[in-house]
Chain A
Amino acid sequence: MHLSIRESDIKKRSSRDSEWRRGLRSLRRSPLAVLGLVIIGFLVVLAIFAPSLAPYSPTKMSLSERLSPPSSTHIFGTDDVGRDILSRVIYGSRISLRICTLVVGLTIGIGTILGIVSGYWGGWLDELIMRISDVFLAFPALILAMAIAAALGPSLENVIIAMVAIWWPRYARVTRGQVLVLREIDYIVAARAIGVHESRIIMRHILPNCVSPVLIQATLDLGEVLLTAATLSFIGFGAQPPTPEWGAMISLGRNYLRDNWWYATFPGLAILLTVIGFNLLGDAARDILDPRLRHGAR
């Protein structure tokens, strides 16, 4: 992500608060951003209240009812072993949320730490971390994720591990970039000169100012993470039966597309809606958190 960082962009704490308030106001004025919030909110509700919302258990098989079209008893129809697709899609929201939050959360954690270490202390550690980042970034994400997931074995956990392994360099770079500029700011230089403890500097001044760009990157990434995970599951590396993961469901439904279109269509719609929600949210986040960020990556 290309960032033009200027010293005036770095804010002290008081002006950040009013910035948030201004941001929230502009959010309300943008219908698309609100739509994004609504979609994601809906998804979270689905995930939390899945047991009460889903009409059937996602794993309950009913062989005599297999491959039934959408009807009043099964709103989204049934799959090839007679499980209710609506229920599976609803429970699938849990899995999707779990994947997204785990991957993004872990990569932020790892990436930020490494980025701060890299930027703040520099030297050979910086070189090492950056070179490793370069190597990881040299692969198209999906290909490398596939290779790692294939090596580790097919499971959702391994897909998450593979994606974390690939995604962290982005956050390391973003954070490092911020840190490099921050390091040279007058009051930080002064603070170091008078001997303020490093960790205090990091915690009070550097870290808070990294939040914005990291958050922007994160919300923009959520959608991509879900798509990549779904693609990996579609290829066969991710969730195993009977886990109702959306990408895996599409993969299974593919063979039945001709006569049983509902099998693959509804999970796909779920993915589409969720990613749209994430993307809208990401755009909104970027607009709020840094309106001066013009030469953004997307």
Chain B
Amino acid sequence: MLKRLLVIFLLTALVGIFSLTTSASPEGQTLIFGATGELRTLDPHVSVDNNAWRAIYYCYDRLVEYELGTTELAPGLAESWKVSPDGLTYTFYLRKGIKFIDGTPFNAEAVKFNFDRLLGMALAPSGTFGFIDRVDVVDGYTVNFILKEPFAPGVSAFATDQGNIVGPGVMDHEVNGDWGQDWLTEHSAGTGPFYVEEWTHGVRVVLARNDNYWGEPAKLEKVIIKYVPEAADLRMLLETGEVDIGEKLIVDQIEAMKGTPGITVFEAPSFCCHYVYMNCQKPYLNDVRVRQAISYAVNYDGIVNDLWRGTATQMRGPVPVGLVGHDDTVFQYQQDLDKAKGLLAEAGYPGGGFTLKIMHAPVIPEWRPMALVIQEGLAQIGIKVEIESYAWATLRDKLDKGDFDMSHGYWTPDYADADMFTWFWFNSENWGLAGNRSWYKNAVMDELVTRSRTEVDPDKRLGLFRGIQWIGTSDAVYLYLLQINYQIVMRDWVKGYVYNPMLLNMPNFPDMYIEK
């Protein structure tokens, strides 16, 4: 009996091996993307997660889009637009003849519905459009957005994922006044070049080509976003070719993969910044000299060159290089232990003698060794550092409550304007998760960042940004660590990828194709 079972098992295994060798990965124009983060919802008015945006972004269109590979704005669902002289009204002229994936027509009513839904549901993505007061339908294909006050980067907001236009068809699936949220969590309802065909939780999302797309149709028939929770596994899958393209691997892994035959590593500077928050409301850290001392104690070289192996550059001030508004003359801290000790003594703590805690989360594996380097640096000036690892969610919660001393973090801008860094990082109204994670309060700064938002004269804005960066640096509000390069790993047969620093986790699926 046992022997029989054994024989059956072996036979089936053999059949399996044979069948595996004959049926390789899916034929034709199918792209398999390996994602280390799992999706939670596909609803653009709920999600603030880049992992979800990767799947959602190309199922929808927006009024305004980024020019391929640049941060310039180009017409999307809107043929053109204009901003009123007082900066309080945006008028969009919409394209005609477009239908949503379920067949309902795209028009001004649909746009109004979309923003009513976004602002009505009032979840996290609605914050991006907090400057909108109301939406008015002028005629069939013209829409007016009335702002509460002028907002310089306002039009850019429409190109983000939060600006995805959701079709009114979702209301057919509405349950208990939820705006169709339950349904849209698992489906797509846009006008985009793809649509969501299937989502198996914890396994994969399958995007299929929208053959009725109003614009240039995609070359790929399907995009399969496969959930691979461990970076080490993703690497193995890329090497065996089971996955065509993947990102968010560890720096060391990517370095090892460079030069592997059949694999291309694409790398380019990005606006993503890794930095450390220093809670200005806590003892010791509330003294600017202590923060400066800490800034002088960190081994930036070791972090940039050894840990990140040159795939990042040290930040110079709070605004990353490449964004309009970045001031290249801003002061940059380097490790100088003597200066650090001197500052500590000035602050009243000669030789240090106190303990600080620094938090990190496993979501970014590089944070742990960075914390160790910081720990070592501060130990040399007499400050003891305790490293604590928290789940991402717990860490963010503690940030929001101010329940921490120091913490790792990263930030990517939603639109290409220095305001994405200055307003959020320094405004005392944004204490906590909203952006000002050092719980910093400075009336002068508040004034500067508020004015830079509403100022329409570009030169005056630049001046304001300069002031903000200088104060932010000399006040050592954050530990300005790294501006990292974006890296994405793909097989040689993946073509058509074009990098856009504003669309970091959303590779341009509509233009990509497979050539074996």
Contacts and interface: CB of A to CB of B under 8 A. Distances in A.
A242 B372 contact: yes
Given A80-B369, A241-B371, A259-B256, A254 B302 contact: no
Contacts of A81: 307, 369, 372-373
Nearest to B390: A154
A162 to B, nearest CB: 16
Given A81-B369, A242-B375, A236 B253 contact: no
5 contacts: A150-B391, A153-B390, A236-B362, A254-B230, A255-B231
A258 B236 contact: yes
A252 interface: yes
Contacts of A256: 232, 252
B388 interface: yes
Contacts of A236: 362, 389, 391
A154 B376 contact: no
B387 A240 contact: yes
Given A154-B388, A257-B232, A258-B236, A66 B253 contact: no
A155 to B, nearest CB: 8
Interface string A236-263: 1000111000000000101111110000
B515 interface: no
Nearest to B256: A259
A254 B365 CA distance: 11
Contacts of A61: 372-373, 376
Contacts of B371: 241
Interface of A: 61, 63-64, 66-67, 80-81, 150, 153-154, 236, 240-242, 252, 254-259
A159 B256 CA distance: 35
Contacts of A153: 390
A66 B306 contact: yes
A179 to B, nearest CB: 43
B491 to A, nearest CB: 17
B210 to A, nearest CB: 38
Nearest to B306: A63
B250 interface: yes
B235 interface: yes
Contacts of A67: 252
For the side of the interface on B, what is the size category? 20 to 34
Contacts of B306: 63-64, 66
B297 to A, nearest CB: 15
B99 interface: no
A240 B389 contact: yes
Interface string B18-33: 0000000000000000
A66 B391 CA distance: 26
Nearest to A81: B369
A258 B256 contact: yes
B248 to A, nearest CB: 12
A150 B394 CA distance: 10
Nearest to B302: A63
B250 A241 contact: no
B368 interface: yes
B369 A258 contact: no
Nearest to B305: A63
B389 A255 contact: no
10 interchain residue pairs of minimum CB distance: A63-B306, A63-B302, A81-B369, A241-B387, A255-B232, A259-B256, A81-B372, A255-B250, A154-B389, A240-B389
Interface in B364-422: 365, 368-369, 371-373, 375-376, 387-391
Contacts of A154: 388-390
Contacts of A150: 391
A81 B391 CA distance: 22
Interface in B76-116: none
A81 B308 CA distance: 11
B389 A63 contact: no
For A63, A66, A150, A252, which residue has the most chain B Cβ atoms within 10 angstroms?
A63
Contacts of A257: 232
